[in-house]
Chain A
């Protein structure tokens, strides 16, 4: 019986190998050049280069040119893309942040991936692994345009030692905005702020989500001055007025948390490496879900590999796409310590995610309850308008309602 099983397995392996060999045999001769537009630091560039090297083992005659740029703003990244396209170097394969996805789709820059994924077993299997919410972020009108390779979210980190010293109970999942404010006040002293509020678009989103608000409505129109948005901004302004947070415009809250000037701060996974280097371990910090007002929530962003409409070689580009989202590549991206892997199996694997802090699984939980970072087709404008309004509120120049009304009017005239 044992023998028979082995024989079956052998036959099965042969059967599987034959088409693979056939494909490899065909691919060997394919010649061509693919242009890749990637974003990130040198580490991310290196990981992509290694995936390209694996692709080149199968396609030795295909040259892949990677351009990897740091991203300051997604509009700049799209601008880079346009510049490459107009100078005859239109990228075939692009790594795109969620923030730029709808802008790219609405301007016809991306190829729909549904047929490509459906026609490919490996990609179909891969698609089933992703969190549904992530795929939704990279879809428009039900059509999929990107396969995610990493994601990011926000939870609240707190310094356990400070809480112990102050005799304040650790926060628990499901805590409310009121409980949060009480805790922040209890933790604030002459040298320490209870919470570090960061006035960036992504970092602010959990406040909108947990108040059941969003800068743009479901139909894509701006809703900066909706009742729930105004209420959330008023709460943030109260935080500033009560002095439980340092100045949100000029403060580097992640450095302040590492140097123990803050008791709590909101962040994703990207801060963990530098905090661990600063001596943080399971004994002195942990994380908890975002405090709740109207519903539980957080934010997720992330990036995905997409194919450009300008590509002349969609088959080759698809072949490369498979290598970019293969679990080997995703594991390497996750091992870099910045991003959270986009699939549950990888994101809850402690060999990849590490064991610090204790509640490291909370990061994946946050993604499952999170809203995507609000990124309509006019992302650059909505980001600028909202952040300007926040600065006006925090600097005391305008009241929340007036600042958001003005921003809404400005934005509507911009997108006309």
Chain B
């Protein structure tokens, strides 16, 4: 028989305190994450009438409906496009800016630029969207005005099927790179200066120092930022909604936009829930792959 573990009173008190401290976030998780997820899974097998709250069990019908619909496939393709490019763009730009601010710029200027780069993360997207639309308009837009000035034909930033996603990408990176920069910067500032100086003495060039010393040492932060950006991009909504609203046609529509349309325009909660479940699975798979892959390149000191 196994002997019962004995706790001394101070350990017990500590344990109690630990539970007490976790209760608020646990309750929050339960009420705002866990229960809604269960509810969404249940609804995804039902036809749900929002007006009467009457439900009918329909089995896999909702899943079949969305998996055979060409619009969901377009939205899925767009979402993956955003995920790769927004995540790479946001993390990459964040890293470049962080190194700029940390290493390249003189210290006095760096505070100023850090604020400038972070500023877009603080403003409400809805307000700046009006300005971005003015930039992107085909016939009265600022960007096309300068393009035509240098002899390039007008581009339908918001109105061509090819460019609508690129416009969203530009807005999304502008909006989110500041946050990535700030988080990576925190990692860079923890890097031991001595190691960098040692590399310098050994004759490593600036680029080699960056690639072989700084990136590996800041890799836990870069990894965290990458995960954040990938999951964020898989759920991309706001940047699209304020700029193109998914159009023209479905050319810039993401899965979350389609979920919102199914749920709040068609009032088809069943299909919206089924799509949400599929998105949840997709996010889980991608995050799992990232964690597995991270063992190869993330160094914890």
- Report whether A76 and B138 are in contact in the complex, using a CB–CB cutoff of 8 Å: no
Among the interface residues A78, A248, A249, A397, which one has the most CB atoms of the partner chain B within 10 A?
Answer: A249
- Report whether A395 and B249 are in contact in the complex, using a CB–CB cutoff of 8 Å: yes
* A-chain residues with CB within 8 Å of residue B256 when the two chains form the complex: none
Which chain A residues (225-252) contact chain B, with CB distance < 8 Å? 246-252
Q: How far is the CA of A246 from the CA of B141 in the complex (A)?
A: 11
Q: A82-B50, A108-B51, A247-B138 are in contact. Are A395 and B160 (CB under 8 A)?
A: yes
Q: Pick from B133, B161, B266: contact of A395, CB below 8 A.
A: B161
Q: How far is the CA of A414 from the CA of B266 in the complex (A)?
A: 8
- Stretch of A32-40, A120-128, A203-211, A384-392 with 4 or more beta carbons under 8 angstroms from chain B: A384-392
- Report whether B264 and A251 are in contact in the complex, using a CB–CB cutoff of 8 Å: no
- Report whether B159 and A246 are in contact in the complex, using a CB–CB cutoff of 8 Å: no
* A-chain residues with CB within 8 Å of residue B141 when the two chains form the complex: 250
Q: Pick from B50, B136, B267: contact of A250, CB below 8 A.
A: B136
- Report whether B261 and A261 are in contact in the complex, using a CB–CB cutoff of 8 Å: no
Q: Does residue B156 face the partner (Cβ distance < 8 Å to A)?
A: yes
- Report whether B139 and A380 are in contact in the complex, using a CB–CB cutoff of 8 Å: no
Q: Pick from B53, B133, B248: contact of A397, CB below 8 A.
A: B248
Which chain B residues (241-268) contact chain A, with CB distance < 8 Å? 247-251, 261, 264-268
Q: Does residue B71 face the partner (Cβ distance < 8 Å to A)?
A: yes
Q: Does residue B286 face the partner (Cβ distance < 8 Å to A)?
A: no
> How many pairs of A and B residues are in contact by the CB < 8 Å rule?
91
Which chain A residues (397-416) contact chain B, with CB distance < 8 Å? 397-398, 410, 414
Q: Does residue A338 face the partner (Cβ distance < 8 Å to B)?
A: no
- Report whether B265 and A250 are in contact in the complex, using a CB–CB cutoff of 8 Å: no
Which chain B residues (129-183) contact chain A, with CB distance < 8 Å? 133, 136-141, 156-161
User: Smallest CB-CB separation from B138: which chain A residue?
Assistant: A247
- Report whether B51 and A395 are in contact in the complex, using a CB–CB cutoff of 8 Å: no
Which chain A residues (359-409) contact chain B, with CB distance < 8 Å? 378, 380-381, 383-384, 387-389, 391-392, 394-398
B contact residues, range = 20 to 34
* B-chain residues with CB within 8 Å of residue A108 when the two chains form the complex: 51-52
Q: A249-B158, A395-B159, A395-B161 are in contact. Are A380 and B266 (CB under 8 A)?
A: yes
- Report whether A381 and B248 are in contact in the complex, using a CB–CB cutoff of 8 Å: no
**What's the minimum C-beta distance from A192 to chain B, rounded to whole angstroms?**
11
Q: How far is the CA of A397 from the CA of B249 in the complex (A)?
A: 9
User: Smallest CB-CB separation from B50: which chain A residue?
Assistant: A82
Which chain A residues (263-296) contact chain B, with CB distance < 8 Å? none
Q: How far is the CA of A380 from the CA of B265 in the complex (A)?
A: 5
- Report whether B250 and A388 are in contact in the complex, using a CB–CB cutoff of 8 Å: yes
Q: Does residue A163 face the partner (Cβ distance < 8 Å to B)?
A: no
**What's the minimum C-beta distance from B43 to chain A, rounded to whole angstroms?**
14
Q: Does residue A256 face the partner (Cβ distance < 8 Å to B)?
A: yes
- Report whether A250 and B138 are in contact in the complex, using a CB–CB cutoff of 8 Å: yes
Q: Does residue A41 face the partner (Cβ distance < 8 Å to B)?
A: no
- Report whether B247 and A391 are in contact in the complex, using a CB–CB cutoff of 8 Å: yes
- Report whether B140 and A261 are in contact in the complex, using a CB–CB cutoff of 8 Å: yes
* B-chain residues with CB within 8 Å of residue A391 when the two chains form the complex: 159, 247-249
Q: Does residue A158 face the partner (Cβ distance < 8 Å to B)?
A: no
Which chain A residues (67-100) contact chain B, with CB distance < 8 Å? 73, 75-76, 78-79, 82, 86
**What's the minimum C-beta distance from A211 to chain B, rounded to whole angstroms?**
23
Q: Does residue A157 face the partner (Cβ distance < 8 Å to B)?
A: no
- Report whether A251 and B247 are in contact in the complex, using a CB–CB cutoff of 8 Å: no
Q: A380-B266, A395-B159 are in contact. Are A247 and B139 (CB under 8 A)?
A: yes
Q: How far is the CA of A388 from the CA of B71 in the complex (A)?
A: 12
* A-chain residues with CB within 8 Å of residue B157 when the two chains form the complex: 250
- Report whether A252 and B137 are in contact in the complex, using a CB–CB cutoff of 8 Å: yes
**What's the minimum C-beta distance from A386 to chain B, rounded to whole angstroms?**
12
* B-chain residues with CB within 8 Å of residue A397 when the two chains form the complex: 161, 248-249, 251
- Report whether B264 and A76 are in contact in the complex, using a CB–CB cutoff of 8 Å: yes
- Report whether B53 and A86 are in contact in the complex, using a CB–CB cutoff of 8 Å: yes
**What's the minimum C-beta distance from A88 to chain B, rounded to whole angstroms?**
13
- Report whether B156 and A250 are in contact in the complex, using a CB–CB cutoff of 8 Å: yes
- Report whether B264 and A247 are in contact in the complex, using a CB–CB cutoff of 8 Å: no
* A-chain residues with CB within 8 Å of residue B251 when the two chains form the complex: 395, 397
* A-chain residues with CB within 8 Å of residue B71 when the two chains form the complex: 410
- Report whether A250 and B137 are in contact in the complex, using a CB–CB cutoff of 8 Å: yes
* A-chain residues with CB within 8 Å of residue B52 when the two chains form the complex: 107-108
- Report whether B261 and A384 are in contact in the complex, using a CB–CB cutoff of 8 Å: yes
Q: Pick from B247, B249, B264: contact of A75, CB below 8 A.
A: B264
* B-chain residues with CB within 8 Å of residue A398 when the two chains form the complex: 249
Which B residues are within 8 Å of any A CB, using their own CB?
50-53, 71, 133, 136-141, 156-161, 247-251, 261, 264-268
Question: 12 new A-B pairs (CB below 8 Å) besides A250-B157, A384-B265?
Answer: A86-B53, A246-B138, A246-B140, A247-B137, A249-B156, A250-B141, A251-B138, A252-B133, A261-B140, A391-B249, A398-B249, A414-B268
Identify 16 residue pairs between A and B in the complex whose beta-carbon atoms are under 8 Å apart, listed by A's number: A75-B264, A75-B267, A79-B267, A247-B138, A250-B139, A250-B157, A261-B140, A378-B266, A380-B266, A381-B265, A384-B265, A388-B249, A391-B247, A394-B159, A394-B248, A410-B71
